[in-house]
Amino acid sequence: MFTGIVESTGRLAQLHLTPQGGRLELRGVAFAEELSLGESVAVNGCCLTVVESGGGGVKFDLLQQTLRLTNLGDLAPGAAVNLERAMQAGARFSGHFVQGHVDTTGRILAWESHGQDCRLEIAVPTEFHRLIIPRGSVTIDGMSLTVAEVKLESVVIWITPHTRAVTNLADAAEGHRVNVEVDMFAKYIEQFLAHRAAAEV
């Protein structure tokens, strides 16, 4: 479980693709020396398991499904990724409950400066719009963000200078694909109501 508060960024060193999936190698990871084999880390909001770490680098194995459902396979060498270690019991909770289970991907439609802030508009598949509400939380590339507006085919989010500076948004551009995880409580509520409705038939 994560909170969507990005601890740091890393850079892609190599992505080795295989018929079974692949291996993701990151460099410049500030907490690489503190990681243990088997520990969970959210990489662009996708929960991955550490298979090797040290010397500022971390390696993760990727499943074919992970490559299919996320933007990790799009990354080019040197690309920045958002990183967060699993939450600790008793620690401050500044974001929202994030599972690290990417629901879908979206594409950046607009990335515009407005004074000190930035307006981010992301095209999200319409089947997920019912689970996203204005002033609710959504996870974009592992960042817990507040939705400002839900449009017909997209969502609008306002980004503060701090968030832009300490995340992979520093490298964002229109057309980039991002990982999207909707609020898990919305998914649970929808599932519960669907089951109750079916039972009443």
Report the share of the chain in percent with pLDDT over 70: 100
Q: What is the model's pLDDT at position 194?
A: 85
The answer on 125 and 56 residing in a single domain is no
61 located within any domain: yes
Q: What are phi and psi of 85, to 5 degrees?
A: -80, 160
94 located within any domain: no
Token pair, residue 37, equals 């084999």
Q: What is the model's pLDDT at position 137?
A: 95
199 located within any domain: no
Domain with residue 116: its CATH number is 2.40.30.20
pLDDT digits (tens, 9 = 90+) for 58-84: 999 999 999 999 999 999 999 999 999
Final residue of a structural domain among 52, 85, 118: 85
Number of domains in the chain: 2
pLDDT digits (tens, 9 = 90+) for 12-39: 999 999 888 999 999 999 999 999 999 9
Q: Name the pTM for this structure.
A: 0.92
- Is pLDDT at 92 greater than 80 in this prediction? no
Domain hosting residue 32, numbered range: 8-85
The answer on 78 and 109 residing in a single domain is no
Q: How many residues does the chain have?
A: 201
Q: What is the model's pLDDT at position 162?
A: 95
Determine contact, residues 56/29, Cβ cutoff 8 Å: yes
Nearest to 12 by CA among 85, 104, 83, 105: 83
Find residue 54's DSSP bridge partners.
57
Handedness of CA 50, 103, 99, 3 (dihedral sign): positive
Compute the distance between CA of residue 93 and CA of residue 91 in angstroms, rounded to an integer. 6
Final residue of a structural domain among 85, 119, 149: 85
196 located within any domain: no
